[in-house]
Amino acid sequence: MRPKRLILAINLVILLLLLGQMLAAIQASDMASELRDTSGRWASYLLLATMLFTPLGYYRPVLRRYLPLRRHLGLWGFALAMMHLLIWVTLEFGFAWALMWQEMDGNLFIWLGLVALLLLVPLALTSNTRAMRKLGYRNWQAWHSLTYVAVPLALGHYLLAQKVVTAEPVLLLVVLVMVLVWRYRHAH
Ligand code: HEM
């Protein structure tokens, strides 16, 4: 092996060892659940924020200028929700599928989260101008009204994930209900 390659290989091994140790440290402390919860919470904020654009833009037309931001917020929300799931699968359960299945059994909140995330997949995949053009705006809009199912499920998941009811998910749900009522009233 050439010296340069050997050095690269040794350094890669060192990096991998460090990464392994970091992951072990995260698992040993309570950091895995911290990371899981923080990613889940930020995913919820961002996803709910995407739903505020239409009503806020109605009352403050100047805000419509920021409409293109909605797509970014939604994609980041989706990415964080995926991270949240990945943390659960890797750091919390270490790919122990049977154990995960056991945990899901009878745990409604996990199913709500899973369905919410699955519904977000087609939305994330079509959150680009090319997909919008291909589908045609009407079809695209119809697909994206799935948001009105996915976000309530995600926030329901948040509420039920709590062992004791805390103010935050209730507050997010109140905002969500306000948006849904507004949408219902302004549907044409
Ligand atoms: C759009 C999808 C999702 C969102 C927005 C979301 C959001 C959240 C939030 C906000 C929490 C509570 C965090 C806290 O207490 O501070 C949470 C907890 C949790 N979520 Fe999710 N989640 C989603 C999908 C999933 C999925 C697919 C799974 C697993 C299959 C999952 C598993 C969990 C678990 C295990 C907890 C912790 C419950 C506990 O404290 O014991 N979530 N999620």
Kindly give the number of the ligand 1 atom that is closest to the alpha carbon of 47. Answer: 5
- The pTM score is 0.89
DSSP state of 96: -
The alpha helices in the chain, defined as continuous H runs, are 3-28, 31-59, 68-87, 97-104, 108-125, 129-135, 137-144, 147-161, 167-185
pLDDT of 188: 66
pLDDT of 3: 86
- By the 10 Å C-beta count (0-12 exposed, 13-18 middle, 19+ buried), 65 is classed as exposed
Q: Cβ < 6 Å from ligand 1: which residues?
A: 36-37, 40-41, 43-44, 81, 84-85, 88, 110, 113-114, 116-117, 120, 154, 157-158, 161-162
Closest by alpha carbon to 107, among 91, 121, 88?
Answer: 88
Task: Identify the residue whose C-alpha is closest to ligand 1 atom 6.
Answer: 40
Closest by alpha carbon to 168, among 32, 41, 80, 76?
Answer: 41
pLDDT of 170: 98
Q: Which residue has the tokens 């709590």?
A: 162
DSSP string covering 135-169: H-HHHHHHHHTTHHHHHHHHHHHHHHH-SS--HHH
Task: Identify the residue whose C-alpha is closest to ligand 1 atom 13.
Answer: 37
Task: Identify the residue whose C-alpha is closest to ligand 1 atom 43.
Answer: 40
Kindly give the number of the ligand 1 atom that is closest to the alpha carbon of 166. Answer: 15
pLDDT of 46: 96
Do 161 and 109 form a contact (C-beta atoms < 8 A)? yes
Task: State the Cα–Cα distance between residues 114 and 121, nearest whole angstrom.
Answer: 11
| Per-residue model confidence as pLDDT tens digits over 141-188 | 999 999 999 999 999 999 999 989 999 999 999 999 999 999 999 986
pLDDT of 150: 98
- What is the whole-number distance in angstroms between the Cα of residue 143 and the centre of ligand 1? 24
- What is the whole-number distance in angstroms between the Cα of residue 26 and the centre of ligand 1? 18
Torsion angle of the four alpha carbons 181, 39, 42, 125, in this order, in degrees rounded to the nearest 10: -70
Q: Please, what are the averages of pLDDT over each run of 10 residues along the chain (188 residues)?
A: 89 94 84 92 97 95 91 95 97 95 96 98 96 94 96 98 95 98 90
CA atoms 111, 116, 118, 119: torsion sign: positive
